[in-house]
Amino acid sequence: MPGPASARALREAAAGLGFAHVGIIPAAPAPHLEAYFRWLENGYHGEMGYMARPDRILRRRDLNAILPGVRFLIIVAVDYHALNVPAAILTDPSRGRIAAYAWGADYHDLIAARLEQLAAWLGGAGYRVYVDTGAILERSHAYRAGLGFIGKNTMLIHPRRGSYFFLGEILTDMDVDDYDDPGRETLCGRCQRCLVACPTAAFPAPYVLDARRCISYLTIEYKGAIPPELRPLMGNWIMGCDVCQAVCPFTRFTAPTREAAFLPVDLDRAAPPLLGLLEMDEAAFRARFAGSAVLRLKHERLIRNACVAAGNWGDPAARPALTRLLDDPSVLIREHAAWALDRLS
């Protein structure tokens, strides 16, 4: 039977694959498991019913339900922010703003492929690789592995790199000869910038997010009609939101990504003009955002979100495109186009 893997060699192999940080911890329940259950009880997960499915709860409670005999978690982080898109472009109300994580290539595919390489190097009889896809409280495990602390905005924040990084993990039945110390407590102190800055007041309390009011949830996860009272608060966001990260004092330590794939191919990938989006059909949508995480949003929701942003822009230049959308086959698009036109008048 092979001996335990070398933690030092594992870290070197991970660094060689482009991972900025690596955490190694024995497999155990996530530190914030009970907070997760309270979050579900309060209904803060909104229509993300998969978060509350019994089989998913079991996997978050016991990692052996994912991989029988799991012994260690290897958690990696990859910086993604480009830091070179002018603020004037992002805040231009005639453009639809996309969260920084989706400016470049779809991170799921890139990171998962490299985790597979790292898992093959590690060896062992069994493993699982996840990149924001599995029923695992990855931020909580990453906190335990020392990759950062949990901020009042519920993000994982590295004290010397901020929070603009992706997480991925390997569950393995291999032993490792060393592992990381438990994560540090919050460094937020009395700061409440993220809580105050949230446009939709999505934080009912520090360290608690009500997804039903979160712009990221509303623009991505939520598939229905966005509550009319929240639409004027969404500004020009059309996919995700970076506000609670951008105002965080630790953001000043953000390191620019070293992954060329995460850089926007042009400024329009970070903040595409709304008039172009409103004219975009399904084929044009797929061609424009090929290889990007924006494709996961799907055409209907992107146009829905663009209608809201156009209504908040309030410029009559959007009237012709919005008027044409009143005849769109999608009831969802028609309803949001009508709302935007009402805002214009």
In the chain, what are the domain boundaries? Answer: 7-85+98-172, 193-249+268-344
Residue 66: Cβ-neighbour burial (10 angstroms; 0-12, 13-18, 19+): middle
Encoded amino acid at 20, one letter: A
* Dist. CA 194–CA 151, nearest whole Å: 9
What dihedral angle (degrees, nearest 10) is formed by the CA atoms of 282, 287, 291, 295?
-20
* Dist. CA 332–CA 342, nearest whole Å: 16
| Helices marked H in the chain | 7-16, 33-41, 54-61, 87-90, 107-122, 138-144, 193-197, 215-216, 243-246, 267-270, 274-278, 282-288, 299-313, 319-325, 331-344
- CA-to-CA separations, 122 to 13, 23, 77, 126, 155, in angstroms, rounded: 9, 14, 18, 10, 29
Please state, rounded to an integer, the average pLDDT across all residues of the chain: 95
Residue 161: which pLDDT band, with cuts at 50, 70 and 90? very high
pLDDT tens track for 42-57? 999 999 999 999 999 9
Instruction: State the catalytic residue, choosing from 62, 92, 106, 132.
Output: 132
Residue 29: pLDDT above 90? yes
What are 75's strand-pairing partners? 23, 169
The CA-based diameter of the chain, rounded to the nearest angstrom, is: 74
Whether the Cβ atoms of residue 318 and residue 278 lie closer than 8 Å to each other: yes
pLDDT of residue 3: 74
DSSP string for residues in 54-82:
HHHHHHHH-GGGTSTT--EEEEEEEE---
pLDDT of residue 183: 65
pLDDT of residue 133: 85
Q: Which two tokens stand for residue 96?
A: 């639809």
pLDDT of residue 178: 87
Residue 123: which pLDDT band, with cuts at 50, 70 and 90? confident
pLDDT tens track for 271-295? 999 999 999 999 999 999 999 999 9
pLDDT of residue 167: 97
Residue 163: pLDDT above 50? yes
Look up 55 and say whether it is catalytic. Answer: no
Rounded percentage of the chain residues whose pLDDT exceeds 70: 99
- Name the percent of the chain in helix, strand, coil, to the closest 5: 45, 15, 40
Instruction: Give the residue among 226, 235, 232, 245 at the shortest CA–CA distance from 301.
Output: 226
pLDDT tens track for 66-115? 999 999 999 999 999 998 899 999 999 999 999 999 999 999 999 999 99
- CA-to-CA separations, 337 to 199, 301, 318, in angstroms, rounded: 22, 12, 10
Query: What is the Cα 221 distance to its own chain's centre?
Result: 11
Residue 185: which pLDDT band, with cuts at 50, 70 and 90? confident
pTM across the whole model:
0.94
> If you ran DSSP here, which 8-state letter would residue 83 be given?
-
pLDDT of residue 1: 46
